[in-house]
């Protein structure tokens, strides 16, 4: 075995360094509370920007900063529906014209609906 090997220890299992003589960065402790009543503290650097919300350590829900302002609601775009996108491309008059054309094709028998698999279930 190599003469440099450490006997009786596992690599990476234990650190032999100590915190003696090391000046840690100045810290502040901030308290958060969630809707379930859990209260906990999180240490931050004095220079850090403190977030208004933090994940609760106990239940995982969003916890608010105690003695802090309410977080600002982010502005979101309203959800665009299929109808909204359709109305961006066509006018109501164009849609009525397309509908009339398709109904005329259906009524004239231009489309063979008997071959379609969904219609075979209706007749059975």
As to burial, measured by CB atoms within 10 angstroms (0-12 exposed, 13-18 middle, 19+ buried), residue 2 is exposed
Q: For the whole prediction, is pTM greater than 0.75?
A: no
DSSP 3-state of 97: helix
User: Which comes out higher in pLDDT, residue 55 or 115?
Assistant: 55
59 is in an annotated binding site: yes
Q: What tens digit of pLDDT does each residue of 67-105 get?
A: 866 667 788 888 999 999 999 999 999 999 999 999 999
**Would you place residue 23 in the very low, low, confident or very high pLDDT band (cuts 50, 70, 90)?**
confident
DSSP 3-state of 39: strand
Q: Domains (ranges, CATH) in the chain? A: 27-65 (2.20.28.270), 79-111 (no CATH)
116 is in an annotated binding site: no
Q: Is the pLDDT of residue 120 over 60?
A: no
123 is in an annotated binding site: no
Of the candidates 85, 89, 48, 87, which has an alpha carbon nearest to the alpha carbon of residue 65? 48
| CA–CA gap between residue 64 and residue 33 (Å, rounded) | 6
Q: Is the pLDDT of residue 117 over 50?
A: yes
């Amino acid at each position: 075995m190599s003469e440099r090997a450490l006997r009786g220890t596992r690599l990476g299992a234990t650190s032999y360094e100590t915190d003696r003589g090391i000046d840690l960065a100045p810290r502040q402790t901030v308290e958060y509370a969630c809707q379930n009543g859990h209260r906990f503290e999180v240490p931050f650097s004095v220079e850090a920007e403190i977030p208004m919300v933090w994940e609760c350590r106990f239940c995982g829900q969003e916890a608010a900063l105690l003695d802090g302002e309410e977080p600002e609601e982010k502005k979101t775009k309203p959800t665009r529906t299929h109808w909204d996108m359709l109305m961006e491309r066509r006018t109501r008059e164009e849609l009525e014209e397309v509908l009339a054309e398709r109904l005329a094709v259906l009524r004239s028998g231009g489309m063979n609906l008997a071959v379609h698999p969904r219609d075979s279930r209706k007749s059975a």
